[in-house]
Structure 1
Amino acid sequence: MKNVWYLLIILMLGTLLAACSSEGEGSSGDESEGGSEGDLSGEITVWTMPFSGDSENEEKMWNNMASTFEEEHGVSVNMEQIPWSNRDQKILTALAAGSGPDVFYAIPDQMPQYAEEGMLLELDPYLEGNNMDDFADSAMESVTWDDSTYGLPILQEAYTLFYNLDIVKEIGGDPENLPKNWEEFKALAAKAKENGYYATSFPGGGSMNGALYPWIWQAGGTVLSKDGEVGINSDQSVEAFELINTMYEKEWIPQDSVTAMHHNELWEGGEMLAVTGSGINLQILQKSGEMDFEIAAPLKKEEQATYGTTGMFVVPSNSGNPDAAAEFVKYMTNAENQRTFNELTKYIPTRESAKDIFEDEPKLDKLAGFTEYTKPGVIHPAARDIMSPIQSEVQAMLEGDKSPQEAADAAAEAIEQQVGK
């Protein structure tokens, strides 16, 4: 698959058209957030993905958004939904053939790869008057590469620990004073184990974004910086490896954590003190009404931090109508449309002014407040390539083949090899 990736990149680079943009052109149509309207015409194609289980209302939302834009700007908007599976290959193949969309959805570990290869339009010339200060800082970090803005964010997530309050009470914890730092969490985890419960989940077979990276950030460490500095085997980062190894050895996490993708059954069955979750988990728990639970603020050792992806819309550099495409991205991500989109999908708006949609939903409102602590993963073109070797080293540690320091050192070596390619 990796060879296919690079072949597609080479093919695409041979067919990219020069990106064109006009300083200051384009606007969201919202005087508080946009600039001058400019002279737009023609048509654009926009690729989105399914963001909720409500496909009917989601389609209606996109169609209404497109229709309003068409009326305001005279640009025909073709909205197309593509599946999540194989989206990278679909996007790359279409762009290489010159038949790709004018706007498409991307996430933080895709954006730097695309931007580094010259595949994305720089949006900065279009952003004057777009009220950029309204975007959360953590969201803007995700759309920036090499000091340029390549996308505008429409959604965020914030992952944090959800606690089963019945278990908290049973083991002598205080539901009103859930753990705030590693020491408090470890103390409660030990009590959970003593009473026959797992403390939490560790999905060692899943993405390291949610499994390993938050512990590293909380310890004050890093994985790989934007400028290519490897930090996964620093003293701080190794503390995260040590904590995970300790949790495994003490059976605070299940013994299948080496390869498990999740531990939903244990959590839902009342056998686990806490599980890392986001807005989707919150919806499920609230709909079922079967568990008394609470969400806690992200933990801290040296830094309060957690994982939370940012979803953005970007414009390919070979768009046939870049001015209209950039304008539509601004329009999609203005405060009004963010309210509409995130009310339906229950993701967190990236504009601070749009977070008022959760004022009557206390738990979602609380979760939205945690985006100030979120990091979107590794922002680097090698972000996806380093995930698998890091995972392999963590698994080797849990299986007893390597010490935490040895696993971290081996992961650092693997990262350096990827970055050096």
Structure 2
Amino acid sequence: KYLMLHHLLKLIWKRKSRNMMLSLEILLAFIVVFAIAAFAVRNYQLYQMPIGFAWRDQWSVNIRNAQPIPNDAATYDALKRALLELPEVEKVAFTAMAPYELSRMNAYYSQPDGSHRVESDSLDASDDFFDTMQMTPAQGHWFSKADDAADAIPTVINRRVADKLFPGIPAVGQVFRAAEFNGTPRRYRVSAVVEQFRAHGEYMDPVNLVLPRFVPGDRETAMTIMLRVKPGTPREFESRLSARLKREHNDWSFVISPLSEARKSMHKLQMLPLTIMSVIAAFLLVMVAFGLFGVLWQNTTQRIPEIGLRRALGADAGHIYRQIIAEQMLLSTAAMAVALVLLVQLPLTGVFEEALNWPVFFTAAALSAGVIYLLSLLCSLYPGWRAARLSPTQALHYE
């Protein structure tokens, strides 16, 4: 077997100028397939992670108004009581924006002395937000009216922020501040820590997140209402909900959406790059397949005298068949080895951070190698069969 491998490598090396372009095509195809495989594997990996909130039986109402709405407790309290009068509504909460929206707000935070500076997404939430979204704290407790007299803004943070702001110590009860703020920096106190809250859903990479307590009149207006409705509430509920909202504030505009619909729209948008990349890769692989098949056909034709001589010396048809396929597999292996040497630099240097972790890299590499090996095998089957069925007499008289 060693002698056979050595012989095949010598044959490939002698035709290195012919094989160079073919190797480059295989290398390029491998890199493209790897990119798609890595994207798909990472999305699958993300989909298995918890998102941190419930989306079933959740509705969002976005308030759209040309003029600023009154930012006072009476307005929000009246709106909440009116919505809870609807038999379908179980919980009502207010927040800056609903899950599965494209918008994001971020800010910089640090410890009171300015150390451990962290950039994080920020999402104001009312006291009932966590119960409405059916969230569970990993540590601590949700903020409530008992925090009205707090000396710092009660805040929920996720595990990523807790580990970065307060490494090695329990985060609950700790104080931090806004790192960039005109005037006196706002102070926050950690009420609870959650493991995850991925507002854009299952295909969102984990991010740093801070959820300060929203108190009407204190800071910015919360323009989104979150509703938890009874299981099985039909879409027709939207008209009754809209009528009830208009009865409260006929001069306001409302955009109502079940979170399940927003989730579907977000998933379609997040899967669009994978779809586009897959179409491009399919065309590329077809082109590579045609090129590979054509080159193998030409190489086999040029080697007919060599094949005839080997047949005359006693090589059987199966041996010739396996040789043609083995040569192509070795050529593909060499091209993929070069590609892997280049690609392995990405997780080593951390260019894509968590998006290309080692499990994703190895799985994508294995899938890509499988695709390239299958393509090489399919393209070499017919040229190998054609070479194997030549009789020694036909091959030695070929011109």
**TM over 0.5, yes or no?**
no
Structure 2-normalised TM-score?
A: 0.18
Structure 1-normalised TM-score?
A: 0.17
Q: Which has the higher helix share?
A: 2
